Amino acid sequence: MTASIEKPSNELNEESLHQLVGGVLQDLGGAFSVPLVQIGEKLGLYQALHENGPSTSGQLAEKTGFSERYLREWLAAQAASNYVSYDAASESFHMTAEQAFVFANSGSPFYLAPAFGAAAAFQGNLSQVTNAFQTGEGVGWGDQTQCLSCAVARFFRPGYKNHLIQAWLPALEGVVEKLESGAEVADVGCGHGISTLIMAEAFPKSNVHGFDFHEGSIEEARKHANQHSVPNLDFHIQEAKELPGSYDLITMFDCLHDMGDPVGAMKTLRSALKPGGKVMIVEPMAGDSLSENLNPVGRMYYCASTMVCVPTSLAQETGAALGAQAGEKRLQDLIVNEAGFSSCRRAAETPFNLILEATA
């Protein structure tokens, strides 16, 4: 049945209106899917369907032990979203290789199920950010919704796991050789320490130190590290502008734009580099203008920036509020012209990440 829409006035372009409504309906379907994807990920439903092959809701219920009636509705919603596939003849559901790569394979670089958890966490910031719109004040990272840091860590993990050792570090001049022979590494703004642990495990001769100003994140990083036997790894509660020690490599993963005083932080990091040392800055992929960022990736990052990144920065000293879509030109200007590095270049990139190499 086709929904009837009251005929618009002559001032409206009917075709454009229908296109807009269609797009909004797509968005609403995605928004309504947030809790369902979280349920599917938490209960392992995508993995079970992928491993079991074509299954009816009853067969999946037998496989998983979950309620058939709930599974029937969940599967219908997933099929309507094209997150799983449906065969009407057999009344069964399955996952294509592409669907499994996005929803069932947690080791995939395009494993996007955790992003729905981040979207739910952003919703938890609603009242605080709404108030901040009126006051102009920030919302501290530690004051934001409780599950945010965990959701963000899970969202970034697939990218770090698939690119950090394989592509990003090799793109830096002479860095891998130093790490293999033994180097001092500081992972600044390490959060839950996923990137820190990856580097420590990959380069056992190097000492890798994680630093973050958020006590709760460092506690989680230490818990995570304790599950592994990695003697060359430690974590510290520390502001970037007060970084102790000297290092061959300093890394910053998706945190520079969140800082209240990114120039002051970069000046401190420059002073903490050993001769020939490098800073690797991983930031969200962005063009240098708003027009370049009006795309699906830019849209996602602008939304995250409004709900998390800008409020976090504005709650800190200076409150630079770069935003998640600052762009390469702005970042390079900050790093070279304002913080005093001799050079900054794009070393690598992914559809989601911009990787910069800064030299003192």
If you average pLDDT over every residue of the chain, what do you get?
94
Contact 155, 115 (CB under 8 A): yes
Residue 360 CA to residue 351 CA, distance in Å, equals: 28
Confidence (pLDDT) at 149: 83
pLDDT above 50 for 55: yes
Mean pLDDT, residues 198-202: 98
Confidence (pLDDT) at 145: 81
pLDDT above 70 for 310: yes
287 forms beta bridges with: none
Domain ranges in the chain?
14-103, 113-359
Residue 355 CA to residue 251 CA, distance in Å, equals: 10
SS3 165: helix
HSE of 180, CA atoms in CB hemisphere, 13 A:
7
pLDDT in tens, 158-180: 999 999 999 999 999 999 999 99
Mean pLDDT, residues 143-169: 90
Token pair for 282: 């991983």
Token pair for 2: 């086709």
Mean pLDDT, residues 9-29: 91
Contact 33, 25 (CB under 8 A): no
Confidence (pLDDT) at 11: 85
**What one-character DSSP code corresponds to residue 164?**
I
Residue 78 CA to residue 76 CA, distance in Å, equals: 5
Contact 225, 233 (CB under 8 A): yes
Residue 165 CA to residue 203 CA, distance in Å, equals: 10
Residue 324 CA to residue 305 CA, distance in Å, equals: 5
Query: Tokens 């009853």 label which residue?
Result: 58
Residue 40 CA to residue 46 CA, distance in Å, equals: 6
pLDDT above 70 for 6: no
Residue 326 CA to residue 333 CA, distance in Å, equals: 11
CB atoms within 10 A of CB 53: 11
The residues near 245 (Cβ < 8 Å, ≥ 6 apart) are: 184, 186, 209, 272
HSE of 275, CA atoms in CB hemisphere, 13 A:
0
Length of the chain: 360
Q: Does domain 14-103 have CATH number 1.10.10.10?
A: yes
Q: Residue 33 is inside which H or E element, if any?
A: helix 14-42
Angle 231-114-86 (CA atoms, 0-180°, nearest 5)? Answer: 135
Token pair for 37: 């994807």
HSE of 6, CA atoms in CB hemisphere, 13 A:
1
233 forms beta bridges with: 208
Contact 352, 159 (CB under 8 A): yes
Residue 267 CA to residue 279 CA, distance in Å, equals: 11
Mean pLDDT, residues 106-128: 93
Mean pLDDT, residues 216-223: 93
Contact 345, 357 (CB under 8 A): yes
Q: Does domain 113-359 have CATH number 3.40.50.150?
A: yes
93 forms beta bridges with: 55, 86
